[in-house]
A and B are shown apart, each in its own frame.
Chain A
Amino acid sequence: MNAHDTVASTDNLTKVYGDRVAVDKVTMTVRRGEVYGFLGPNGAGKTTTLRMLLGLIRPTSGSSYATSPVGALIEGPGFFPYLSGRANLRTLARHRGFDDAEVERVLERVDLAGRGDDRFKGYSLGMKQRLGVAAALMGDPELIVLDEPTNGLDPAGMADMRALVVDLARGGQTVLLSSHLLAEVQEICHRVGVIDDGRLLRESTVAELRGGVSIRVRATPEPEALAVAMRLAGDDGVQRTADGALQLTLPPEQAPWVTRELVTAGIDVHEITAAERSLEEVFFDLTSGSTTKKEAVR
């Protein structure tokens, strides 16, 4: 990676409010064209970090960089309640020097063109959220920062939003997505940064974060199955799980080969599946997984 690949970064970024450290020496890098998931429970410091990145608040120490232009939806959409969605976007477009055609384009993009003339104060939470995303898309910015964009969206709306984010990345735009919805991040992000209590605990690809995948086998008789498994995956590559199954540290595409070897050895295979740690499991491992946090991210 070279400097040209970086569209946003922070270096020891810190924000202190009184005696409370909201963000503690966060160093992260967002690369061009990727969907970067910024993960953390409520109150972890995600939004404060993003606000500093966008220049809305000043860091206590450290520095940040974001390419220009940036489109952003930060902590909920802020619009004039007495104006329609369309008029709100036109006001924003005038501030930024875009014409009305750009307003229509982004309204279409978030499926709000048909309700564009309704007043903002009459919008549902999901519609307000989509209008906020439309504002962030205006001008086709190189970097789009979305802070909890699926808040208030129904399941169909959430699926649409995920599709939009994927499509933006496919079109070459970089998306920095802050979320506490782990399944959403696992599904659409290339890399993630996990933040808790203001500190960045881990930054890596989703695959790296989840660790290696394995194959889970339930077979009998167990001693013979264990012997074959150790021959295939090595002595250190087999673990017995609490329910009596065997966990082989092998890629899932080798499951047919494992099945053949077991059957050839006269072993009955009752179950064989690819076993992966979910991002949720990894997340709770990283953040100590308190009950409160589990509730916060679900």
Chain B
Amino acid sequence: MSTATAPLVVRPATGLVAGTLRSTRAELGRLRAWPAVWITLGAWLALSLMFGYLFTYLSYTTGDAGFADEGTTRAEQLARLLPDAVPDVFLQGMPMFGGALMMVLGALVAGNGYGWGTWKTLFSQGVRRSSAVIGSVTALTAFVVATLAVTLVFDLGISLVITATEGHDVVLPSAGSLTEAFGAGFLVLEMWAVLGFALGTLARGPALSVGLGLVWALVVENLLRGVGQLLSWVESLTEVLPGTAGGSLIGSIVGVGEGDGTPGVLDTVPGAQGAITVAAYIVAAIALSLVLVHRRDVA
């Protein structure tokens, strides 16, 4: 170990905004190098490919109706595969498995900080808690935006290949429909990501938060919606749940009739109401994470 006298180091400013910007940069750097992030992105793209295009294309080419294509003609199947339908295909998987994947990632980002002791390392070196949390959430948000952008390009690319293969003219979706799909997709994925972050913070570890989050997103809400058909007060309750809100927002764009059979795509509440509820969940989850990290002991 060297014992040379250390040179003087210029100490940085420590304002909240400056600290948050520094933490965002730091978190972006470490998320980019984290295999879990790339595995999540890869899993999402693989699922999007399978359920958005592969099964429909196989059904179209073989003439066998798939589980999502019952009662549809071959022309309707082909229409789903062309660029014009990209906004709908892009959105369909988000309420269910897209949201679940983002929630898992959010829970890992926050929860592993406790498991690995990295929050402790940051806070014991004088990094402001609020700066670190906002920086981490901002980096997570950047990943959500990047995922949406990559998915959109990915879907457009596949649909263009199918268009060329099938010898159809290219009809691109309107900028408005793409923007609307991007915005709705952002709200839904961001909601699940920050809910996962809040769960990871609440549980102070990744395992419990991932388990609870997945059970909630994939099982509990569906069960409650089933019970809601029998009990009116449960039905009222389900209208403000995150899965219902996100599914209804997507359903208002995709259309539940067209997306029939796509899990999680709903028409339970109007799209605007769904969007407001989703936005409220985003704000609440970030606020909860900040309060928890600020107030609780770091073990």
Contact = CB atoms under 8 A, between A and B. Distances in A.
Interface of A: 51, 54-58, 68-83, 87, 90-98, 102, 105, 108-111, 130, 132, 135-140, 145, 157, 160-161, 163-164, 166-167, 170-171
Interface residues of B, number: 41
A80 B22 contact: no
B3 interface: yes
A112 B219 CA distance: 49
28 contacts: A51-B298, A56-B298, A57-B299, A68-B126, A77-B121, A78-B116, A78-B117, A78-B118, A78-B121, A79-B116, A79-B121, A87-B30, A91-B30, A92-B121, A94-B25, A94-B26, A94-B29, A95-B125, A95-B127, A95-B135, A96-B125, A96-B126, A96-B127, A97-B13, A110-B2, A111-B2, A135-B125, A167-B5
B116 A80 contact: yes
Contact of B120 (A78, A97, A105, A110): A78
Given A75-B120, A92-B122, A97-B18, 20 more contacts: A54-B124, A56-B297, A57-B297, A70-B125, A76-B117, A78-B120, A80-B34, A82-B35, A90-B29, A91-B30, A94-B29, A95-B122, A95-B132, A95-B135, A97-B12, A98-B12, A102-B9, A110-B2, A140-B8, A167-B5
A105 B30 contact: no
B209 to A, nearest CB: 18
Nearest to B8: A140
A174 B263 CA distance: 61
A91 B26 contact: yes
Interface string B118-144: 111111111100011001000000000
A80 B189 CA distance: 25
Contact of B2 (A102, A108, A140): A108
Contacts of A163: 1, 3
A145 B123 CA distance: 13
B6 interface: yes
Given A110-B1, A139-B11, A71 B125 contact: yes
B124 A74 contact: yes
B33 interface: yes
Which of A76, A80, A170 is packed against the most chain B CB atoms within 10 Å? A80
Contacts of A109: 1-2, 4, 6
B121 A98 contact: no
